[in-house]
Amino acid sequence: MSSTLYDLPDDVLIYNITFLSVPDILQTCKRFNALTRLPIVWTNAFKFNILANNYPFPPGYIDLEHRTRSAYRLASRWLVDTPLIPKSEVTFTGSTVYEIKFIPGRQHLWLLTLSLDISSVLTIWNIERMVKCSEWSYKGAIFNTVKLNTDPDSEACIAVSLLPTIVLLRLDDNGILHEINNIDMNLLPVTFTGDIIALSETVSTMVIYNWKTGTRAYLDEGGDIQYGHRVCLQVVFTSSTILVVRACSISAYVSPLLLCGQTQTPIATHPFGWVEDFSISSPAPNNPLSILIRYEDLDFGPSVPSSLELYSLSSFPPILTSKISSYCTQFVLGKRATAMCVRYKEHDIDRKTLIAVVFPGPLNPTDQVRIREVHPLDHNWSALDYDEDTGRIAICSGYGKITILQL
């Protein structure tokens, strides 16, 4: 090492370290070890190595070095076109589970499972400790729907539909659920964001409701949709539009919406045809909102591959950006054009494998879709969730085995 470099002032050295990659920062000599522990070094490394490249990272981590190193390691795995073998795998056992969800934010500690025996039960798990923290049920009732709040800072974490009532639950720091409000509405929650809940009727009208103020507005489908296709499947709030996904179409409404009892009709509607399944990425800065759609040939069913089509929702009507054929069933789409999919064998639908589909984007610099094998699945798997920011995948089987994979 040149003595001239050793003699440079610390602020000049810190500036030079800014141009190093994360592995190079970690390989500096003892003379610079103290400098590479400074917060400014990892603030710069995060800015220029992670944010500038739009790599996934878990928000909310206080330890800048840990967050930067973890994000760089995860992105490096995505960028290499090889099998995406998980770095680690943990398994624990619960009741028969039919739905599983990572709870957003909150230090990425919590997992929600939904099981059904005589009645419905919500269970909160601590992922790091692999222990059950709490269970919640309601007077032996069966839940109609359960929706997580996409805003981790909101007081209410979960909305549970028990027609004709909706119960809002708070999650405390010990993983215990507490009832904080009941909403007397014979409606189903579709999307929960902050204080706003999108509620669906079985007919054409959506209700956008602020549970704290009690104010509301209505979204009408406009009357051009056949009755069987009117049921709302998902609502997405963006800064400029509200997107409502139905069985065969997607509609755009003006946003922000004034909750003063008015009724709005869509400014535009785009037909998709009959959709077997879909997944919408979460709205995020620097990442175009996208929807991944699966179409199945109704004449041949699972004997022929489905069509998986990725559309950008950054403009309206949506723009088709990628299309592949695959024997996939369930899937979850991330913000940066990666998706975890369950794929079955062509001539054996009981043999399933978890695969990653990596569309062109920040984690795939090519113009071709990459398919990466991840993990074999039990024949009786029942539910899947995927957190792109942390690189975690949750899988559960029908007999209660819960597996967390870390990429």
pLDDT band with cut points at 50, 70 and 90 for residue 296? low
In a shared domain, residues 116 and 69: no
Q: What percent of the chain has pLDDT over 70?
A: 84
In a shared domain, residues 174 and 52: no
Of residues 359 and 14, more confidently modeled: 359
In a shared domain, residues 277 and 358: yes
Tell me how far apart the alpha carbons of residues 248 and 245 are, in angstroms, rounded to a whole number.
8
Closest C-alpha among 176, 132, 180 to residue 160 = 180
190 neighbors 202 (Cβ within 8 angstroms): no
> Do the domain assignments include residue 202?
no
Judge whether residue 300 has pLDDT over 60: no
Domain of 369, CATH number, reads 2.120.10.30
Tell me how far apart the alpha carbons of residues 54 and 197 are, in angstroms, rounded to a whole number.
30
> Do the domain assignments include residue 358?
yes
Closest C-alpha among 317, 312, 278, 319 to residue 295 = 278
Cα distances (angstroms) measured from residue 83 to each of 78, 278, 344: 10, 25, 17
pLDDT band with cut points at 50, 70 and 90 for residue 124? very high
Which residue among 52, 79, 106 closes a domain? Answer: 79
In a shared domain, residues 61 and 102: no
Closest C-alpha among 218, 350, 359 to residue 279 = 359
pLDDT band with cut points at 50, 70 and 90 for residue 319? very high
Please give the pLDDT value at position 197: 94
How many C-beta atoms surround the C-beta of residue 86 within 10 A?
17
Amino acid (one-letter) located at 189: P
Please give the pLDDT value at position 34: 66
Mean pLDDT of all residues in 255-267: 80
pLDDT band with cut points at 50, 70 and 90 for residue 225? low
Please give the pLDDT value at position 43: 83
Tell me how far apart the alpha carbons of residues 32 and 235 are, in angstroms, rounded to a whole number.
51
In a shared domain, residues 283 and 338: yes
Q: Which domain holds residue 377?
A: 88-186+272-406
pLDDT band with cut points at 50, 70 and 90 for residue 192? very high
> Do the domain assignments include residue 398?
yes
In a shared domain, residues 322 and 398: yes
Please give the pLDDT value at position 15: 60
Please give the pLDDT value at position 179: 95
pLDDT band with cut points at 50, 70 and 90 for residue 1? very low
In a shared domain, residues 92 and 49: no
Please give the pLDDT value at position 351: 77
Which residue among 53, 79, 105 closes a domain? Answer: 79
152 neighbors 104 (Cβ within 8 angstroms): yes
> Do the domain assignments include residue 168?
yes
In a shared domain, residues 170 and 40: no
Residues in the chain: 407
Judge whether residue 131 has pLDDT over 80: yes
Please give the pLDDT value at position 171: 94
In a shared domain, residues 181 and 106: yes
In a shared domain, residues 50 and 181: no
Tell me how far apart the alpha carbons of residues 287 and 392 are, in angstroms, rounded to a whole number.
20
pLDDT, tens digit (0-9, with 9 covering 90-100), for 204-222 = 678 999 999 999 888 887 6
Which residue among 61, 79, 97 closes a domain? Answer: 79
β-pairing, 205-210 vs 196-200, is: antiparallel
How many C-beta atoms surround the C-beta of residue 135 within 10 A?
15
- Token duo for residue 322: 């990628």
pLDDT, tens digit (0-9, with 9 covering 90-100), for 4-17 = 656 665 666 666 66
> Do the domain assignments include residue 211?
no
In a shared domain, residues 325 and 396: yes
Q: What percent of the chain has pLDDT over 90?
A: 37
How many C-beta atoms surround the C-beta of residue 162 within 10 A?
16
pTM: 0.88
> Do the domain assignments include residue 200?
no
Of the listed ranges 165-169, 188-192, 235-239, the least confidently predicted one is: 235-239
Mean pLDDT of all residues in 240-250: 85
In a shared domain, residues 139 and 71: no
- Please write down the HEC assignment for all residues of the chain: CCHHHHCCCHHHHHHHHCCCCHHHHHCCCHHHHCHHHCHHHHHHHHHHHHHCCCCCCCCCCCCHHHHHHHHHHHHHHHHCCCCCCCCEEEEEECCCEEEEEECCCHHHCEEEEEEECCCEEEEEEECCCCEEEEEECCCCCCCCEEEEECCCCCCCCEEEEECCEEEEEEECCCCCEEEEEEECCCCEEEEEECCEEEEECCCCEEEEEECCCCCEEEEECCCCCCHHHCCEEEEEECCCEEEEEECCEEEEEECCCCCCCCEECCCEEEECCCCCEEEECCCECCECCEEEEEECCCCCHHHCCEEEEEEECCCCCCEEEEEEEECEEEEEECCCCEEEEEEEECCEEEEEEEEEEECCECCECCCCCEEEEEEECCCCEEEEEEECCCCEEEEEECCCEEEEEEC
What is the count of structural domains for the chain? 2
Of the listed ranges 31-35, 139-143, 233-237, the least confidently predicted one is: 31-35
> Do the domain assignments include residue 4?
no
> Do the domain assignments include residue 225?
no
- Token duo for residue 309: 């089509």
Please give the pLDDT value at position 369: 92
